[in-house]
Structure formats: structure tokens, C-alpha cells
């Protein structure tokens, strides 16, 4: 296959006595006209190749139909008003508000009306205590660098206050609605170049004042890679501050009526701890000395660990979320990588478990974080599984009634399909679980096009459903979908996470390889019919497969990936991820990173399977340079006849806020490429 000509330059670094060649470093300069020209040619080649796949346009229309099913967010309720986001055929989800469960929904924020050229997305929102105001963040082209706005919910007036750099904002309203505490990144030019993506702080903003004069409340003198989450006690005296260091979370309490006196709840501990405030108490969820987490409480005025009281001890199932109400405690727990909701009394006795569909994922349950407390008599949560797109449930705490508030009907006849959970042995003998979905009529004869998906990192559980609605396209056309619960996630607690990070990262790759081998051995598929799909950290995973087990797969998708692991930490916000991966700046970490870094393990003459690499020009998390450099190197090294294709999307980020039309095209490219190469008939 003829590829665009790509210059190789002699660039060699010496790290810890080892020479590291980097012949395509010039592709890191996205603003270089030569790079833009090279990328335009790569994009053109890819589009020409993929759009010639038989029945591409038919697949595009079908996937558009699936994506048009829409999405629903978990509602937030304040003072009888219900706020929720809904997406259908418009490019971006729209925020609605309605009075009570039967009220008529009214559009509150419609990002689709804000720009015809550059996609605008609603990143987050917070409602004031009496539902008078809405604070929300908007960003362009999926870059997630939110601009904060304030809107009067009743009148629709948008206030003059606009605050930039509020990416991943955490916010706590003052009880009188005169202002709020919030988190913000520094303006470029106010910190050394390269540091503007870090150095987040907590500020206090009073409505109607200049944000440039906002008081800095917390963060000064602390690590520039810290993330902060905040909540305020009901009367407004105490500010609870969570300090995230990715693999470690500290917790502090600030007395705002006593010169902002700061007390430690837990700090400098190798644990993840989150908290919430209710009725003069701090409720604490932590994996300290409990990999699957324990729930504690303590008085606000005695927050130190020696005063903590155990409320619910660690069990066999990881606790992923807690909701504390006046008379009950609700736990979202994971059992074998699926979610359940358990109800406890305030006396800590397990009363019941909600009757929910099997193999499901649950979002929400009364809060944005892992622990929330409120005095409401009901709460909302969303439930999804491999067949049900989204159902929003409401649970009435007083009557114990569980009802569906809003829902999206499944597009397939679910009676025709089966979901299984299988267990297989990884390289070191560890038992790993895997979900497998397919039509009941499929014969296990080794000929089925099968898509294996994985992630394995950052303490993130991969639960049903892992794929977008376009997975229905694969299943409907007699394909098999498999999702492996690799080490590095939190499916089985913090120990499962730690077994797949830093120097143990190879466990993740081994788990994935052995999942593929299990599928082949058990006749679900064969090498030529097996493809793999991964994005972000999952893109690193599938990238590693290209250099460690390239002959095991018929096709590989590498989405918004990290691939140059020697230099990854130098770009965008990637220093945040050093606790997960390590850094080549450390001589010991350098050794194990170099062993698996995909870009540094490509060998001339390798016979790669069909490979499709995708990145995004506005990605503020993972720089497109990874996919670009890897593509150039693979095209140079490849000795097979299979294509190595690259597409870098313009006006797109890490996947968040992507317009529906663009999403449909992206998903169609992915599914038709993998289907074409594995024999999927569509």
C-alpha cells in the first residue's frame, strides 16, 4: 500500500545511559506546515480507503439511527425542580428543567444554538440551594476548557459574570446564593509556560464582582498536579476539601468562621478517601486498610482519624458510591464487575437490595461524586446494560417505590441475545472475568467476527455497557462483543487496581492477551476474525498488542492513545498520570516503561494486522502526536499487506462533546473497518 512520504530524521536522546531513537519527533509540532500537509494526506488516504468499504453508507445510516436513540443524564433535584440533560438528533445534549415529576420540560441551556461553526458543549452544571441560579460550563470543539456562566433559572437571564479556565470544575454554593466556591486553572502568562494546565486552586466568587479579584481559598504552595473537589455544610460554615493525587486522595475541613482554619481529616496517606457533610458530621468513604472500602463518620469538630467511627465495614464487594439520607444509607456496590444498590438502616443493618436488571451499570444515586448526603425523600439514578441504552429510575425512600422516570427503549429484540460472564486464567494464574454478548443463534465454530474491548487503568471499572450504542450494529450483524475486566481497574477493589499500574502494568497486557487466547480456544472466534478496540488508556493497551502479540488479531483499533511512553508526560495534562504509569525521568521507572512503550518497540519487518489509529486535534488530554508518530513508524516498518491508517479529527477532543453527525461518522469508520477486516457481513 502506498502511503504519504514521511521523512525520517536522526534524533537520539540518551536517558539513563540508554540511546532512545525518535525519528518522527518533528511530527510533534502540530503547527508546522509540513506536519499539517502530511496529516492532510494521511486523513485523505484513510477516508478514501474506508469510505470504499462495501456498504459503508448503509452502515452509516444504521449507526446514525442507533445514535439517535439519544442519551439521558441523571436528574438533579432542588426545591421541587428537576434538572436533566437529554440528547436526541441534535449535535449536543440539551439541559432541561421541569417542575416535579409530571411538569413540562423547559429548555434551560441548548448548546446547539450557541454556534453554527464550532461545536459548543455543556461540560457541567451546579444548581443553587433554592434553585434560583444555574452555574454551568461551556467549551468549544471538545477541548473541555470550560467558560463558567450564571443563569437565572426563573427569568432566563444570563448574568455578566463569565469565568474562564474552569475545566472539570467543582463548585459549592453559599447558602444565601450570593456566590460560590469553585475551582479554576491559572490564566496563561500568570504561571511559567507549560504550567497553565496544572496549578488548580479553590476560589470564592461573589456574583456581580470581577472574577480576577476572587479570593484564593486553597491550593497555594501545594503540588501543581493536585485536583480539588469541594462541598459546603448546610449553614455555610465548613468547607470540605478533597485533594486528589490520582492514586491518593486527602481530605481537609476548613472553618470559614475561624480565619479559614484548616484541619486534617486524612492526609499524606496511601489511600483514596472522599467525604460528605450532613447534620454536623463528616461521612468518610476510604480504602485505607480496606481495599474494597469502609464507610466511617466523625463530628466536624473532631475530624482526625482517631475519632472516626466505623459505620459499614469492608465487605467482599467493593463500595463505589454512598448516599446518606436522614434514615437510610444507600450503597452502590460492585459484584463481579456489575452494579447493585443495597439499603442499610442508620443502625448499619442491611435491609434489602433493589431489584434491578442483571449485568447493569448504575450512575448517579444522588450525587456527582463517590459519596453524597442530603435530606431528600427520593433519589434518581440511571441504569444501563448491554441492551438497555438508558433508564432513569426514581426511588421513593418513604414508600420504597421504584419507578422509571424516563427511559429509552432498546432497539433490538433482547430475547434473541445472550449475555454471559466467563472467567479465564491470565499468564500468572490470576482469574479474570469477561462479559460476552451475542445472538443466541450463533454457533461457536471459530468463525464469528469478535470485538474484544479493554481498558485496565486508573482505578476505572469497565462495566456493562462499555461501548456506545453502535455496538448494536456489531451484534445485529452476527458479531460477538467481549469486554475483559483487566487488572488496573477497580472491578475487584484497590488491590486489583494496584496489580495493573506502574511496574505491574504488564499484567494488564497479559490479561488482555489471555482473554483473546481464551476466545480463540473456546471457538468463539479465530485470529483472522478477532479484532480489538481501545481508547485513551485502552488505546495504549491495543497499541501494546501491536508490538507484543501482533499475530493474534485480524484488526486493531487504537483510539486517542498514549503510545510514546518515554515522552508522554511532557505534553498536555499528562503529568497528572505519573502516579499511574511512572515517568521516564525516574531511572527505575524508565526501565519498565521502555519495555512496553509501543513507539519504542516497533521492529522493522514486523507483520502488522490491519490497524486504524484515531486522534483529535483539540484533545486536551492526550496529544495527537502519539498516533501520528506511531503511524509513521508502523508504515515504515510494516512488512505485511495490511493497511496502517490514521485519522486525526479536527474540531474534536478526547471524545467528550462530539457532535452527533461527527460521532456517527467516527463510529461508522471504526465499525466498518474492523468489520471489513474480520468478515462481519453488513
Q: Is 654 exposed, middle or buried (0-12, 13-18, 19+ CB in 10 A)?
A: buried
Strands 76-78 and 81-87: antiparallel
Average pLDDT of span 8-16 = 97
CA dist., res. 153 & res. 161, Å (int): 15
Residue 619 has pLDDT above 80, yes or no: no
**pLDDT band, very low/low/confident/very high, at 654 (cuts 50, 70, 90):** low
Q: What is the predicted pLDDT for the residue at 377?
A: 86
Q: What is the predicted pLDDT for the residue at 346?
A: 82
The closest of 500, 497, 512 to 460, measured between CA atoms, is: 497
Residue 653 has pLDDT above 60, yes or no: no
Q: Which helix (H) or strand (E) holds 109?
A: strand 106-109
**pLDDT band, very low/low/confident/very high, at 467 (cuts 50, 70, 90):** confident
Residue 468 has pLDDT above 90, yes or no: no
Average pLDDT of span 592-598 = 99
* 542-573 b/e (C-beta count within 10 Å ≥ 16 → b): bbbbbbbbbebbbbbbbbbbbbbbbbbbbbbb
Residue 116: CA count within 13 A, CB half-sphere: 0
Q: What is the pLDDT of residues 183-195, one digit of tens each?
A: 999 999 999 988 9
**pLDDT band, very low/low/confident/very high, at 561 (cuts 50, 70, 90):** very high
Catalytic option among 536, 550, 583, 597:
536
Average pLDDT of span 581-598 = 99
Q: Helix, strand, coil: what percent of the chain each, to 5?
A: 20, 35, 45
Q: What is the pLDDT of residues 73-82, one digit of tens each?
A: 999 999 999 9
Q: What is the pLDDT of residues 411-461, one digit of tens each?
A: 999 999 999 999 999 999 999 999 999 999 999 999 999 999 999 999 999
600 annotated active-site: no
Residue 612 has pLDDT above 60, yes or no: yes
Average pLDDT taken over every residue of the chain: 95
654 annotated active-site: yes
Residue 484 has pLDDT above 80, yes or no: yes
Q: What is the pLDDT of residues 120-158, one digit of tens each?
A: 999 999 999 999 999 999 999 888 999 999 999 999 999
**Poorest-pLDDT segment among 10-14, 41-45, 88-92:** 88-92
Residue 293 has pLDDT above 90, yes or no: yes
Q: What is the predicted pLDDT for the residue at 41?
A: 98
Asked if the peptide bond before residue 465 counts as cis, ω within 30 degrees of 0, the response is yes
Residue 657 has pLDDT above 80, yes or no: no
Q: What is the predicted pLDDT for the residue at 652?
A: 61
| 513 DSSP β-pair partners | none
Q: What is the predicted pLDDT for the residue at 491?
A: 97
Could you report how far apart the first and last alpha carbons of the chain are, in Å?
Answer: 25
Q: What is the predicted pLDDT for the residue at 650?
A: 82
Q: What is the pLDDT of residues 101-121, one digit of tens each?
A: 999 999 999 999 998 788 899
Phi, psi (rounded to 5 degrees) for 413: -80, 100
Across 377-471, the runs of DSSP E, i.e. the strands, are: 378-385, 390-396, 402-408, 417-425, 431-439, 450-453
**pLDDT band, very low/low/confident/very high, at 370 (cuts 50, 70, 90):** confident
Residue 655 has pLDDT above 70, yes or no: no
CA dist., res. 405 & res. 277, Å (int): 28
**Poorest-pLDDT segment among 87-101, 151-165, 520-534:** 87-101
Average pLDDT of span 643-651 = 92
Q: What is the pLDDT of residues 218-238, one digit of tens each?
A: 999 999 999 999 999 999 999
**Poorest-pLDDT segment among 5-9, 129-133, 374-378, 418-422:** 374-378
Share of the chain above pLDDT 70, in %: 98
Q: Which residues, 6 or more positions from 289, have their beta carbon under 8 angstroms from its beta carbon? A: 271
Residue 541 has pLDDT above 60, yes or no: yes
Q: Is 85 helix (H, G, I), strand (E, B) or coil?
A: strand
User: What's the maximum distance between 2 C-alpha atoms anywhere in the chain?
Assistant: 72
Cell of 271: 489511600
Q: Which residues, 6 or more positions from 249, have their beta carbon under 8 angstroms from its beta carbon? A: 242, 243, 271, 272, 273, 274
Q: Which helix (H) or strand (E) holds 588?
A: helix 587-596
Q: What is the predicted pLDDT for the residue at 374?
A: 80
Amino acid at each position: 500500500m502506498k502511503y504519504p512520504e514521511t521523512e525520517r530524521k536522526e534524533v537520539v536522546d540518551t536517558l539513563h545511559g540508554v540511546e532512545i531513537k525518535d525519528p518522527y519527533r518533528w511530527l510533534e509540532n502540530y503547527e508546522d506546515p509540513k506536519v499539517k500537509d502530511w496529516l492532510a494526506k494521511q486523513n485523505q488516504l484513510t477516508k478514501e480507503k474506508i469510505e470504499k468499504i462495501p456498504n459503508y453508507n448503509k452502515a452509516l445510516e444504521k449507526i446514525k439511527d442507533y445514535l439517535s436513540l439519544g442519551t439521558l443524564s441523571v436528574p438533579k433535584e432542588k426545591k421541587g425542580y428537576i434538572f436533566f440533560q437529554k440528547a436526541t438528533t441534535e449535535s449536543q445534549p440539551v439541559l432541561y428543567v421541569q417542575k416535579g415529576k409530571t411538569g413540562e420540560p423547559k429548555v434551560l441551556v441548548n448548546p446547539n444554538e450557541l454556534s453554527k461553526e464550532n461545536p459548543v458543549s455543556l461540560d457541567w452544571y451546579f444548581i443553587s440551594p433554592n434553585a434560583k441560579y444555574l452555574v454551568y460550563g461551556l467549551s468549544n470543539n471538545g477541548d473541555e476548557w470550560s467558560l463558567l456562566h450564571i443563569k437565572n433559572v426563573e427569568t432566563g437571564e444570563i448574568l455578566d459574570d463569565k469565568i474562564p479556565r474552569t475545566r472539570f470544575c467543582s463548585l459549592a454554593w453559599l447558602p444565601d446564593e450570593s456566590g460560590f466556591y469553585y475551582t479554576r486553572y491559572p490564566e496563561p502568562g500568570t504561571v511559567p509556560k507549560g504550567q497553565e494546565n496544572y496549578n488548580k486552586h479553590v476560589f470564592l466568587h461573589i456574583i456581580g464582582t470581577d472574577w480576577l479579584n476572587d479570593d484564593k481559598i486553597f491550593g497555594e504552595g501545594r503540588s501543581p498536579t493536585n485536583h480539588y473537589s469541594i462541598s459546603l455544610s448546610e449553614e455555610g460554615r465548613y468547607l470540605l476539601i478533597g485533594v486528589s493525587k490520582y492514586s491518593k486522595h486527602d481530605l481537609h475541613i476548613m472553618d470559614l468562621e475561624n480565619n479559614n482554619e484548616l484541619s486534617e481529616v486524612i492526609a499524606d496517606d496511601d489511600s483514596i478517601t472522599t467525604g460528605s457533610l450532613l447534620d454536623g458530621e463528616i461521612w468518610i468513604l476510604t480504602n485505607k486498610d480496606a481495599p474494597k472500602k469502609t464507610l466511617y463518620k466523625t463530628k466536624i469538630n473532631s475530624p482526625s482519624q482517631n475519632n472516626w467511627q466505623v459505620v459499614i465495614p469492608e465487605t467482599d464487594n467493593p463500595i463505589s458510591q454512598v448516599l446518606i439520607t436522614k434514615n437510610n444509607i444507600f450503597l452502590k456496590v460492585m459484584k463481579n464487575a456489575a452494579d447493585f444498590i443495597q439499603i442499610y438502616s442508620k443502625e448499619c443493618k442491611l435491609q434489602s437490595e433493589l431489584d434491578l436488571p442483571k449485568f447493569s451499570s448504575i450512575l448517579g444515586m444522588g450525587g456527582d461524586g463517590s459519596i453524597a448526603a442530603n435530606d431528600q425523600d427520593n433519589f434518581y439514578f440511571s441504569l444501563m446494560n448491554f441492551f438497555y441504552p438508558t433508564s432513569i429510575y426514581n426511588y421513593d425512600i418513604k414508600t420504597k417505590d421504584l419507578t422509571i422516570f424516563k427511559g429509552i427503549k432498546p432497539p433490538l429484540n433482547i430475547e434473541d441475545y445472550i449475555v454471559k460472564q466467563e472467567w479465564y486464567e491470565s499468564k500468572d494464574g490470576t482469574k479474570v472475568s469477561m462479559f460476552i454478548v451475542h445472538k443466541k443463534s450463533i454457533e461457536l465454530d471459530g468463525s464469528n467476527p469478535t470485538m474484544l474491548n479493554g481498558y485496565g487503568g486508573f482505578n476505572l471499572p469497565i462495566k456493562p455497557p462499555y461501548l456506545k450504542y453502535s455496538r448494536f450494529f456489531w451484534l445485529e450483524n452476527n458479531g460477538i462483543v467481549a469486554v475483559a475486566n483487566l487488572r488496573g481497574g477497580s472491578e475487584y477493589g484497590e488491590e486489583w487496581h494496584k496489580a495493573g499500574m506502574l511496574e505491574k502494568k504488564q499484567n494488564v497486557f497479559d490479561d488482555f492477551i489471555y482473554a483473546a487466547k481464551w476466545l480463540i480456544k473456546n471457538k468463539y472466534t479465530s485470529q483472522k476474525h478477532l479484532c480489538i478496540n481501545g481508547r485513551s488508556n485502552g488505546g495504549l493497551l491495543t497499541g501494546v498488542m501491536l508490538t507484543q502479540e501482533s499475530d493474534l488479531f485480524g484488526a486493531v483499533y487504537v483510539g486517542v492513545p498514549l503510545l510514546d511512553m518515554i515522552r508522554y508526560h511532557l505534553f498536555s495534562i499528562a503529568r497528572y498520570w505519573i502516579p499511574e504509569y511512572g515517568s521516564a525521568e525516574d531511572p527505575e521507572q524508565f526501565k519498565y516503561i521502555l519495555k512496553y512503550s509501543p513507539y519504542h518497540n516497533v521492529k522493522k519487518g514486523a507483520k502488522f494486522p490491519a490497524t486504524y489509529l484515531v486522534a483529535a486535534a483539540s484533545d486536551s488530554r492526550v496529544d495527537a502526536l502519539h498516533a501520528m508518530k506511531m503511524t509513521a513508524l508502523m508504515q515504515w516498518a510494516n512488512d505485511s499487506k495490511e493497511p496502517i491508517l490514521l485519522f486525526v479529527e479536527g474540531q474534536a477532543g478526547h471524545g467528550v462533546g462530539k457532535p452527533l453527525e461527527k460521532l456517527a461518522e467516527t463510529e461508522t469508520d471504526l465499525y466498518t473497518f474492523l468489520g471489513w477486516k474480520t468478515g462481519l457481513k453488513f
